[in-house]
Structure 1
Amino acid sequence: MPDLYEGTVGLLRPHADLSELHFAGVDFTDAELSGASLSECLLEGITAAELRMLNARIVESRIEGLNTPSAALTGAVLREVELKNSRIGAIDLADADLRTVAVEHCKLDWVNLRSVVLTDVLFRDCTFGELDLTGAEGTRMAFENCRAETVTVRGARLKDADLRGLDFARLDGPEGLRGAALDERQLMAMTETFAQYFEVRVMG
């Protein structure tokens, strides 16, 4: 990060071009950042009743300590972005493009990654309520020490995706696991899911 200028609420508007700014403890509730561009920015301790950044572009930036029940980033572009130590109820990233993104130490109740392109994306020490990867295209995506209640991979296209660090209670759309790396424990846990999908009987 270069030397940053103080960011204020007055700068938060649609299609804003924000560069080299530090937003600390700012309430984004009334901000409409759809179509905005953030480059080399640091957001710390941000709160919002709803964070709206539809079709936004976030590049070489870090978001830490974000707390919001809802984050709308449909169609957003994230390049070299870190999201850390955050609590988000629902985050909608449908149709977004994520490249070189790290999500660490976050609690995310519902994550919509439908039809998202993920390249070089890492999730570390995260918990998910529902992780929806329907129709997503993931290349070099990995999970480390993560847990999800439900994972949906229906229609996903995965390449060099490492899911060994993702524990989940329920899986939907097992055909979407093609191209993913799993460990033996995960395969054993999914025996019933695979049996139902292939309509086979497991007999002792």
Structure 2
Amino acid sequence: MPAAQSLEDLAYAAYLQEHGEPLEPDGNYTEVHLSDVELEDVRAGHATFIESAFSGVVLGGGSLERSRFSDVWISRNRWVGLRLADTEWLDVSVLDSSLAGIEAYGSRLRRVVFQRCKIDTLNLRGSTIADVEFDGCDLTELDCGGATLTNVTFAGSTLRRARFTGAKLKKVDFRGARELDVAAGAESLRGAIVDDRQLLELAPVLAASLGIEVK
């Protein structure tokens, strides 16, 4: 799915209103634009964001647990140590952003694009992830343990120490990934698509998961 590359490309750009107030629990944010703000220890669980944009936003710690993001555009953001457990993401684009130490287990992501992002320690354990693109991203410690992944791609991305223990994969395409390093859960890669080079790189962890000793 093509992601809008600028704010002006959004279908709802003309309706956006600048939002300078703190985010609140159970808040309903429709057609709002958070721009170039830094929020520490945000407490806005159960909030709803619809046709909204985050540009140049820094979120340091806190929680947006059980929030909903629908048709949301996120660009040049830096989110660190943020709790996003049990959130719902639909038609969301995340561009040129840095995410670190994000707890998003139990979430539901559908038609989400991560493009040119640096993602370090993203916990998606037990999540449902469908029609999601990681395009040109640098991912370290991606944990999809127990998650269900359907039609997920990693074109031009680097995966280091990824974990898929107990995950269920269907049409998960790793072809085009610059690096594929699986630290745990190689036995759960049934349903993945890899190229010849990646298969050779995965051979040691696949053998270990099957109890095969290679001498």
Asked if TM exceeds 0.5, the reply is yes
8 Å Cα contact 1:19-1:40 kept in structure 2: yes
Q: Quote the sequence identity (%).
A: 28
The gaps in structure 1 that reach 5 residues or longer are none
Whichever residue aligns with residue 153 of structure 1, its letter is F
8 Å Cα contact 1:28-1:51 kept in structure 2: no
8 Å Cα contact 2:54-2:74 kept in structure 1: yes
Q: CA deviation at 1:51?
A: 4.8
Picking from 43, 59, 69, the partner of 1:58 is: 69
Whichever residue aligns with residue 175 of structure 1, its letter is E
- CA distance, structure 2, for counterparts of residue 150 and residue 199 of structure 1: 20
Q: CA deviation at 1:165?
A: 3.0
Whichever residue aligns with residue 98 of structure 1, its letter is L
Question: Which moves more between the two structures, 187-196 or 161-170?
Answer: 161-170
Q: Does 1:143 align with 2:151?
A: no
8 Å Cα contact 2:112-2:133 kept in structure 1: yes
Aligned pairs for 1:40-59 (under 5 A) are 40-59=51-70
Q: CA deviation at 1:170?
A: 3.8
Picking from 29, 33, 44, the partner of 1:22 is: 33
- CA distance, structure 1, for counterparts of residue 154 and residue 165 of structure 2: 18
- CA distance, structure 1, for counterparts of residue 103 and residue 195 of structure 2: 29
Deviation digits for residues 16-68 of structure 1 (CA, Å, limit 9, x no counterpart): 00000111112221431210000000100001221521000000011111113
Aligned pairs for 1:35-184 (under 5 A) are 35-166=46-177, 167-184=179-196
Normalising by structure 1, we get a TM-score of 0.94
The gaps in structure 2 that reach 5 residues or longer are 1-10
- CA distance, structure 2, for counterparts of residue 39 and residue 119 of structure 1: 20
Residue-pair matches, total: 202
Q: CA deviation at 1:15?
A: 0.5
Q: CA deviation at 1:89?
A: 1.5
- CA distance, structure 2, for counterparts of residue 145 and residue 50 of structure 1: 29
Normalising by structure 2, we get a TM-score of 0.89
8 Å Cα contact 2:187-2:206 kept in structure 1: no
- CA distance, structure 2, for counterparts of residue 40 and residue 82 of structure 1: 11
- CA distance, structure 1, for counterparts of residue 49 and residue 31 of structure 2: 8
Runs of at least 4 residues off by over 6 Å: none
SS at match of 2:199: helix
Whichever residue aligns with residue 171 of structure 1, its letter is A
SS at match of 1:28: strand
Question: Which moves more between the two structures, 127-136 or 191-200?
Answer: 191-200
Q: State the superposition RMSD in angstroms.
A: 1.3
